[in-house]
Amino acid sequence: MKFRILSTAAFVIAIFLAFGAAAGERWDTLPALPPMPAAAKSGYAPVNGIKMYFAIYGEGDPILLIHGGLASSDYWAGEVAALSKAHTVIVADSRGHGRSTRTAAPMGYDLMASDYLALLDFLQIPKTAIVGWSDGGIIGLDIAMSHPERVSKLFAQAANVTTDGVKPDMAKAPAFAAFIKRSAREHRRLAPSPREIKAFLASIEKMWATQPNWTEAQLSQIRVPTAIALGDHDEAITREHTVYMTHVIPGAKLIVLNDVGHFALLQDPEGYTTAVLDFLADP
């Protein structure tokens, strides 16, 4: 009888742990990507020697959504439908990511920023709000510094401005570990040349090891209305670094996203969209 009681208890504990590990806290999850809505227009823009995939949704004041490293524009599916009700929403795959090609040039934020500026030229969009996640936020900051006349507002989530803002153990976090596995599968499915993944990863890892590395003097030149956002459980970027960014970028607003991590746009798309729209509506 004692054995049976212990066995039952062990069974219940095992089931509890299994379901607990599967469900986890919201910030530890990596939700599936919902399907993208039907685009009003999509295609490939010839920019800086690459073919850059883009898609456009809705009508109104433009918003450019820039995804994070190793991801693609598909990661914005949870935000596109709501944002496109009153805005023209532009998404694209950064060079070497998703469906976009790349050249042999080393990956770098300045280069990717110039890609997005060339895309805006191709689409004849002189000025836009930018919402950037992770590497996308860094690209947005790069554009705000180099071409502020092209940016109406900037919402940069989980971005860093120096390499010491990144947590060294981020890859051990459950959601991040799951993302690394998923991104490899997505690259094989979407990339024009999936066999080049090793060269692509080597180039982007070198970029991450050395960039960005902006000084306070450079960041203090940003005059674009800027929000610096971070999930309260972000596993990649430190809170101290995020606060530092709001101190050195004039007028920057700190937005803390609740109960989410680095993948806030997937974990709470409704809350994410609300934060973006509230910031854009703020005079």
CATH value at residue 157 = 3.40.50.1820
Q: 59 in a domain, yes or no?
A: yes
User: Which residue from 29, 237, 258 is spatially nearest to 132, judged by alpha carbons?
Assistant: 237
Question: What mean pLDDT do residues 201-229 have?
Answer: 97
- C-alpha to C-alpha distances, 248 to 96, 113, 206, 213, nearest whole angstrom: 31, 21, 26, 14
Q: 16 in a domain, yes or no?
A: no
Q: 28 in a domain, yes or no?
A: no
Question: What mean pLDDT do residues 205-227 have?
Answer: 97
Cβ-contact 83, 130 below 8 angstroms: no
Backbone angles phi, psi at 177, to 5 degrees: -60, -40
- The whole-chain average pLDDT of the chain stands at 92
Q: Residues of 2-40 as b/e, b for ≥16 C-beta within 10 angstroms?
A: eeeeeeeeeeeeeeeeeeeeeeeebbbbbeebeebeebe
Q: 113 in a domain, yes or no?
A: yes
Q: 10 in a domain, yes or no?
A: no
Backbone angles phi, psi at 171, to 5 degrees: -65, -15
CA diameter of the chain: 77
What's the pLDDT tens digit per position in 150-178?
A: 999 999 999 999 999 999 999 999 999 99
Residue 101: domain span: 34-281
Cβ-contact 26, 260 below 8 angstroms: yes
pLDDT score of 8: 32
Cβ-contact 94, 115 below 8 angstroms: yes
pLDDT score of 31: 98
Q: 70 in a domain, yes or no?
A: yes
What's the pLDDT tens digit per position in 118-138?
A: 999 999 999 999 999 999 999
Q: How far apart are CA 74 and CA 173, in angstroms?
A: 22
Q: 228 in a domain, yes or no?
A: yes
pLDDT score of 24: 80
Q: Could you give the dihedral angle defined by the CA atoms of residues 268, 225, 150 and 123, in that order, rounded to the nearest 10 degrees?
A: 20
Backbone angles phi, psi at 231, to 5 degrees: -65, 145
Domain count, the chain: 1
Q: 8 in a domain, yes or no?
A: no
pLDDT score of 122: 98
Give the orientation angle of helix 174-190 with respect to helix 197-210, to 10 degrees: 140
Alpha-helical runs (H) found in 53-173: 77-83, 109-122, 135-146
Q: Is the pLDDT of residue 92 over 50?
A: yes
Give the orientation angle of helix 109-122 with respect to helix 135-146, to 10 degrees: 70
- pTM of the predicted model as reported, rounded to 2 decimal places: 0.92
My answer on whether omega of the bond before 34 falls inside 30° of 0, hence cis, is no
Q: How far apart are CA 47 and CA 199, in angstroms?
A: 21
